Structure 1
Amino acid sequence: MVFSPLLVAALLPIAAQAANDWSQPCFGQCNWDINSGSGSGTVQITGTQSGVSDLTTAAGWSILDCDANTADQDIRLVCQNPDAGCDHIHTDGAAGTLVRLPTSCGSVPFALVTRMWTHQDQSIPANKRALLTRRDGTTPTVKGISLSTNFSEADPSQKGNVTLHLQGSSIPGVATNFTQPPPVDQLNKRGLLSWVGNTLKNIGEIHKNISGSSPINFSKDTPLFDQSINCPQSGAIPAFSGEVKVDLNGKVDGTVNYGVAASGSVIPPKLDQFGLFVGLDTTVTGTLNLDATLTGTVGTGQIPLFQTGIPGLDFPGILSIGPTFSVNAEADASLDANLNMDVDLDYTISGAQLFFPPSSGPSGAFTPGDSKLQLSVSPDVTANGQVTAHLIPTLAFGINALDGKAKATINLDVDAQAGLDLSLTASGKASTATDGSKSADKSFGGCVDVTSGLTVSAGADADFLSIFDKSTSVDLFKKTFDLFKKCFGDSAARRTYTGRKARAELLSKRASIACPSSALASAISVADETVTGSSLQ
Structure 2
Amino acid sequence: MVHSALLVAALLPIAAQAANDWNTPCFGECNWDITDGNGSGTLRLLGSQTGVSDLTTAAGWTILDCDPNVADQDIRLVCHDPDAGCDHVNQNGAEGTLVRLPTSCGSVPFALVTRMWVHQDQKIPASKRALIMRRDGSQPTVKGISLATDFAAVDPDVNGNVTLFLQGSSIPGVAGNFTVTPPTGVAAAKRGLFSWIGDTLKGLSEVHKNITGSSPINFEKDVPLFDQSFSCPQNGAVPAFSGEAKVDLNGKVDGTVSYGVAAAGSIIPPKLDEFGLFVGLDTTVTGTLGLDATLTGSISSGKIPLFETGIPGLDFPKILSIGPTFSVNAEATASLDANLNVDVDLAYTIAGAQLFFPPSSNPAGSYKPGDSNLKLSVSPNVTSHGQVAAHLIPSLAFGVDVLSGAAKATINLDVDASAGVDLSLSAVAEAATGTDGKSAGASFGGCVDVTTGLAVTAGADASLLSFFDKSTSVDLFTKTFDLFKKCFGDNPARRAYTGRAARAALMAKRDSVGCPSSLFGTAASVVEEAVPAGR
TM-score between both structures, scaled by the size of structure 2: 0.92
Distance, in Å, in 2 between the alignment partners of 1:105 and 1:521 is 78
1:92 is matched by which residue type in structure 2?
A: N
Distance, in Å, in 2 between the alignment partners of 1:258 and 1:49 is 35
Q: CA deviation at 1:206?
A: 4.0
> Aligned pair count?
519
Deviations 1:468-520 (A, max 9, x none): 01111111111111112123344433343332223223322313111111111
Distance, in Å, in 1 between the alignment partners of 2:19 and 2:465 is 34
Residue 291 of structure 1 aligns with which residue? Answer: 292
Residue 83 of structure 1 aligns with which residue? Answer: 83
Is 1:431 the counterpart of 2:437? The answer is no
Residue 10 of structure 1 aligns with which residue? Answer: none
Whether the aligned pair in 1 keeps the contact of 2:19 and 2:42 (CA below 8 Å) is no
Deviations 1:91-145 (A, max 9, x none): 1111111100011110001011122222233333343344433344432222221
What are the residue-to-residue correspondences of 1:202-217 with 2, within 5 Å?
202=203, 205-217=206-218
SS in 2 for 1:534: coil
Is 1:187 the counterpart of 2:190? The answer is yes
1:48 is matched by which residue type in structure 2?
A: S
Residue 271 of structure 1 aligns with which residue? Answer: 272
Distance, in Å, in 2 between the alignment partners of 1:197 and 1:270 is 23
Residue 3 of structure 1 aligns with which residue? Answer: none
Residue 414 of structure 2 aligns with which residue? Answer: 413
Alpha-carbon distance change, 110 to 449 in structure 1, aligned in 2, over 3 angstroms: same
Q: CA deviation at 1:440?
A: 4.5
Whether the aligned pair in 2 keeps the contact of 1:76 and 1:142 (CA below 8 Å) is yes
Q: CA deviation at 1:197?
A: 7.3
Deviations 1:214-273 (A, max 9, x none): 111111111111111111111111111111111111111111111111111111111111
What are the residue-to-residue correspondences of 1:385-534 with 2, within 5 Å?
385-436=386-437, 438=438, 440-534=440-534
Residue 3 of structure 2 aligns with which residue? Answer: none
Residue 229 of structure 1 aligns with which residue? Answer: 230
Q: CA deviation at 1:183?
A: 4.5
Greater RCO between the two (CA within 8 Å, min separation 6)? Answer: 2
2:514 is matched by which residue type in structure 1?
A: A
1:178 is matched by which residue type in structure 2?
A: F
Distance, in Å, in 1 between the alignment partners of 2:137 and 2:318 is 41
Distance, in Å, in 1 between the alignment partners of 2:80 and 2:337 is 85
Alpha-carbon distance change, 218 to 482 in structure 1, aligned in 2, over 3 angstroms: same
Distance, in Å, in 1 between the alignment partners of 2:183 and 2:65 is 39
SS in 1 for 2:534: helix
Whether the aligned pair in 1 keeps the contact of 2:208 and 2:354 (CA below 8 Å) is no
2:190 is matched by which residue type in structure 1?
A: L
For structure 2, the 5+ residue unaligned runs are 1-13
Is 1:374 the counterpart of 2:362? The answer is no
What are the residue-to-residue correspondences of 1:138-217 with 2, within 5 Å?
138-183=138-183, 185-188=188-191, 192=193, 195-196=196-197, 199=200, 202=203, 205-217=206-218
Distance, in Å, in 2 between the alignment partners of 1:133 and 1:203 is 53
Distance, in Å, in 2 between the alignment partners of 1:275 and 1:375 is 46
Is 1:117 the counterpart of 2:120? The answer is no
Residue 8 of structure 2 aligns with which residue? Answer: none
Distance, in Å, in 2 between the alignment partners of 1:61 and 1:203 is 42
Distance, in Å, in 1 between the alignment partners of 2:316 and 2:281 is 23
SS in 2 for 1:392: strand
Distance, in Å, in 2 between the alignment partners of 1:390 and 1:364 is 22
TM-score between both structures, scaled by the size of structure 1: 0.92
Is 1:314 the counterpart of 2:320? The answer is no
Q: CA deviation at 1:439?
A: 6.4
Distance, in Å, in 1 between the alignment partners of 2:18 and 2:493 is 76
Whether the aligned pair in 2 keeps the contact of 1:180 and 1:202 (CA below 8 Å) is no
Q: Superposition RMSD on alpha carbons, in Å? A: 2.0
**Percent of matched pairs sharing the same residue:** 74
Distance, in Å, in 1 between the alignment partners of 2:195 and 2:392 is 36
Residue 103 of structure 1 aligns with which residue? Answer: 103
Q: CA deviation at 1:522?
A: 0.8
Q: CA deviation at 1:210?
A: 3.3
Residue 261 of structure 2 aligns with which residue? Answer: 260
Distance, in Å, in 2 between the alignment partners of 1:432 and 1:325 is 47
Alpha-carbon distance change, 117 to 467 in structure 1, aligned in 2, over 3 angstroms: farther
